[in-house]
Structure 1
Amino acid sequence: MEPQLRIAVIGAGYWGPNLARNFSVSPDWRLVAICDLDRDRAEGLAARVGGVDVVTDVDELLARDDVDAVAIATPARTHHALAIKALASGKHVMVEKPLADAGHRGRAMVDLASVSGLVLMADHTYCYTPAVLKIRELIEEGALGDILFIDSTRINLGLIQPDVDVFWDLAPHDLSIIDFILPGGLKPQSLSAHGADPLGAGKSCVGYLVLPLAGGAMAHVHVNWLSPTKIRQMVIGGTKRTLVWDDLNPQQRLSVYDRGVDLGLQAVDGVERTAATVSYRLGDTWSPALPEREALGQMAAEFAESIREGRPPRTDGEAGLRVLSVLEATARSLAANGAVVPVDERADEATRAEQLAGAL
Structure 2
Amino acid sequence: MVNVGVIGCGYWGPNLIRNFNSLPGANLKTIADLDEKRLHQVGLLYPNTHKTTDHREIIEDPEIQAVVVATPMSTHFPLGSQVLEAGKHLFLEKPMATNSDDCRALNRLAAARGVKVMIGHTFVYTPAVRKIKALMDSGELGDVYYVNISRVNLGIFQQDANVVWDLAPHDVAMLNYLFEAHPVSVSANGRCYVQRDKGIEDVAFVTLEYPGRRLAHIHVSWLDPNKIRNCTFVGSRKMLVYDDVSPSEKIRVYDKGVDVQPHYHDYGEFQLLYRSGDIFVPRIDTVEPLKIETDSFLKVVSGQEENLSSGEEGLRVVQVLEGACRSIAEDGKPIPLKYDD
TM-score (norm 2): 0.93
Tell me the distance in 1 between the aligned counterparts of 2:212 and 2:7: 42
Residue of structure 1 equivalent to 2:193: 198
What does 1:261-300 correspond to in 2, within 5 Å? 261-263=258-260, 265-266=262-263, 268=265, 277-300=271-294
- Residue 355 of structure 1 corresponds to which residue in structure 2? none
Unmatched 5+ residue regions in structure 1? 350-360
The CA deviation at 1:227 is 1.0
**1:326 shift after superposition:** 0.9
Describe the SS at the equivalent of 2:92: strand
Q: Does 1:343 align with 2:321?
A: no
Q: Which amino acid in the other structure matches residue 71 of structure 1?
A: V
Q: Give the Cα separation in 2 of the matches to 1:73 and 1:264.
A: 54
Given residue 232 of structure 1, which amino acid in structure 2 is its aligned partner? R
Is 1:17–2:14 an aligned residue pair? yes
Distance (Å, rounded) in 1 between the aligned partners of 2:80 and 2:307 = 16
Q: How big is the shift at 1:279?
A: 2.1
2:111 aligned partner: 114
Structure 1 segments (4+ residues) deviating >3 Å? 263-269
- The DSSP-based 3-state class of the residue aligned with 1:136 is helix
8 Å contact from structure 1 (residues 139, 145) kept in 2:
yes
- Asked if the contact 2:74–2:160 (Cα under 8 Å) also holds between the matched residues in 1, the reply is no
CA distance in 2, matches of 1:30, 1:143: 42
2: CA distance between counterparts of 1:292 and 1:8? 27
- The residue correspondences of 1:100-179 to structure 2 (distance < 5 A) are 100-179=97-176
Q: What do the CA deviations read for 1:268-327 (whole angstroms, capped 9, x no partner)?
A: 59xxx9x96532222211000112111111111101111112654221112211211111
Secondary structure of the residue aligned to 1:48 is coil
Please say if residues 265 and 277 of structure 1, whose CA atoms lie closer than 8 Å, have aligned partners that are also in contact: no
Which stretch has the larger CA shift, 276-285 or 129-138? 276-285
The residue that corresponds to 2:319 in the other structure is: 325
> TM-score when scaled to structure 1?
0.88
Equivalent-residue separation in structure 2 for 1:281 and 1:192 (angstroms): 33
* Distance in 2, Cα, partners of 1:330 & 1:34: 35
Q: Per-residue deviation at 1:154?
A: 0.9
Q: Is the Cα–Cα contact under 8 Å of residues 20 and 49 in structure 1 kept in the other structure? A: no
Kept after mapping to 1: 8 A contact 2:152/2:219 = yes
Distance 1:331 1:166 in 2: 10
For 1:304 and 1:60, the matched residues in 2 are separated by: 21
Gaps of at least 5 residues in structure 2 are none
Q: How far does residue 56 in structure 1 lie from its aligned partner after superposition?
A: 2.7
Measured in 2, the distance between the counterparts of 1:265 and 1:296 equals 47
Distance 1:111 1:76, change over 3 A: same
Aligned-residue identity in percent? 38
Aligned residues: CA RMSD: 2.0
Partner of 1:144, secondary structure, is coil
Distance (Å, rounded) in 1 between the aligned partners of 2:35 and 2:203 = 33
Query: What secondary structure sits across from 2:102 in the alignment?
Result: helix
Q: Is the 8 A contact 1:329 1:344 kept in 2?
A: no
Residues 52 and 199 of structure 1, relative CA distance in 2, 3 Å threshold: closer
2:303 to 304, 309, 325: 309
Q: What does the per-residue CA deviation read over 1:88-129, in whole Å, with 9 as the maximum and x for residues that have no partner?
A: 211110011101111110111122223332110011112222
Question: For 1:113, what is the secondary structure of its paired residue?
Answer: helix
